[in-house]
Structure 1
Amino acid sequence: MVVKVEPVTCVGEHLRELAELLILVVEDGASVGFLPPLLEPVATRYWEDVLEPGVLLFVAKVDDEIAGSIQLHLSSKQNGDHRAEIAKLMTHPKFRRRGVARALMQTAEARARQEGRSLIVLDTRAGDPSNLLYVSMGYQEAGRIPNFARSANGDLHPTVFYYKEIGS
């Protein structure tokens, strides 16, 4: 399986697939800011509004099908122009455990370096499989906040904050 990661500068041509990706990962329990059932108009609206200054979007494709996505948010603050944040790392359930998320992370890190960023931060729900990926890629835990994210059953879960110094 060959994973190709490419930047997205216009969501239009990918809108249907991105909305489907978001709906599927939310239904599968991902903590990406939405709860199931996620309706298609809500998912579509999210993607229509995602690209703004400082937000870089990448998709991973396998055989021309979107297998995942990631966002890199470049800090625009004067005292933060050395950092970026990883957001909304998503892998289509049928492509999990095949290197898609790692390829997306590597692409985001490389782009952060190109943008002159030396620090990447991110957060994820404690206990999710993504924690293993981040640690395996050299991210350091910075701390946890209890009761940060609500799940579909109403339970509250802690979030874990990670960082990685990548040089510039």
Structure 2
Amino acid sequence: MSTGFAIRRVAAGEVDALVEPLAEVLLDCVEGGASVSFMWPLPRERALSFWRGVAAGVRSGERLLLVGEAEPGRIDGTVQLVLAQPDNQPHRADLAKMLVHRRARRRGLARSLLDAAEQAARDEGKTVLVLDTVTGGDAERLYQRSGWQRVGVIPNYALMPDGRPCPTTYFHKPL
């Protein structure tokens, strides 16, 4: 399925230049109600600080960052792989912060990002991926349809951006 989005891996040398547009995607997702570690209202500087930290992880090789763009230079979605793991887990990576701007939803971008992240993990020699997501949300359904195996649910694990508690579902996928 062609989604009209180009998915690409962000190089260490370009990551700092993408902090602003990545912050825009994060701000949009949190304003739209996504439980992705932040509360609303999310100060712009807090979003920028988060992405500066991710950029440092990309530069150090601890993280891999993918972006999806409908047109060059406009980031519509992103996902990360946390590559740095404990010594006894070199085969594993965490899928983190799958974010799709509301303007780009329901067009296959999340699935394309997920497929690209799984391939990038294989390319990095990873054989197991893990993630957590809000129970009952669109992302949970995407992961199930994409062959991820549900591990379990933790009630009241996190808060929605408006302060309501929500359960989280953990998944894993052997590659």
TM-score (norm 2): 0.90
- Please report how far the alpha carbon of residue 11 of structure 1 lies from its aligned counterpart in structure 2 after TM superposition: 2.5
Alpha-carbon distance in 1 for matches of 2:84, 2:174: 15
Higher relative contact order, chain-length normalized (CA < 8 Å, sep 6+) = 2
Please state whether the residue corresponding to 1:152 is helix, strand or coil: coil
Where does the alignment leave 5 or more consecutive residues of structure 1 unmatched? none
| Runs ≥4 residues deviating over 2 A | 9-12
**Deviations for 1:46-105, whole angstroms, at most 9, x for unmatched residues?**
111113132111110111211100000114322111111100000010100111111111
Asked if 1:106 corresponds to 2:115, the answer is: yes
| Match in the other structure for 1:7 | 9
Say whether the 8 Å CA contact 1:75–1:82 is kept in structure 2.
no
| Match in the other structure for 1:122 | 131
Please state whether the residue corresponding to 1:69 is helix, strand or coil: strand
| Match in the other structure for 2:102 | 93
Please state whether the residue corresponding to 2:38 is helix, strand or coil: coil
Say whether the 8 Å CA contact 2:34–2:161 is kept in structure 1.
no
- Please report how far the alpha carbon of residue 127 of structure 1 lies from its aligned counterpart in structure 2 after TM superposition: 1.3
Alpha-carbon distance in 2 for matches of 1:12, 1:74: 19
Asked if 1:47 corresponds to 2:56, the answer is: no
| Percent identity for Structure 1 against Structure 2 | 39
- Please report how far the alpha carbon of residue 111 of structure 1 lies from its aligned counterpart in structure 2 after TM superposition: 0.8
Alpha-carbon distance in 1 for matches of 2:161, 2:67: 26
Say whether the 8 Å CA contact 2:100–2:110 is kept in structure 1.
yes
Which of 18, 21, 33 aligns to 1:17? It is: 21
| Match in the other structure for 1:156 | 165
**Deviations for 1:106-156, whole angstroms, at most 9, x for unmatched residues?**
111001101111111000011111011000100010011111011233221
Say whether the 8 Å CA contact 1:11–1:47 is kept in structure 2.
no
Alpha-carbon distance in 2 for matches of 1:18, 1:122: 20
The residue correspondences of 1:123-138 to structure 2 (distance < 5 A) are 123-138=132-147
- Please report how far the alpha carbon of residue 31 of structure 1 lies from its aligned counterpart in structure 2 after TM superposition: 1.1
Alpha-carbon distance in 2 for matches of 1:154, 1:100: 28
Asked if 1:77 corresponds to 2:118, the answer is: no
Alpha-carbon distance in 1 for matches of 2:106, 2:26: 18
Between 1:76-85 and 1:109-118, the stretch displaced more is: 76-85
Where does the alignment leave 5 or more consecutive residues of structure 2 unmatched? none
TM-score (norm 1): 0.94
RMSD over aligned CA atoms reads: 1.2
Alpha-carbon distance in 2 for matches of 1:33, 1:39: 13
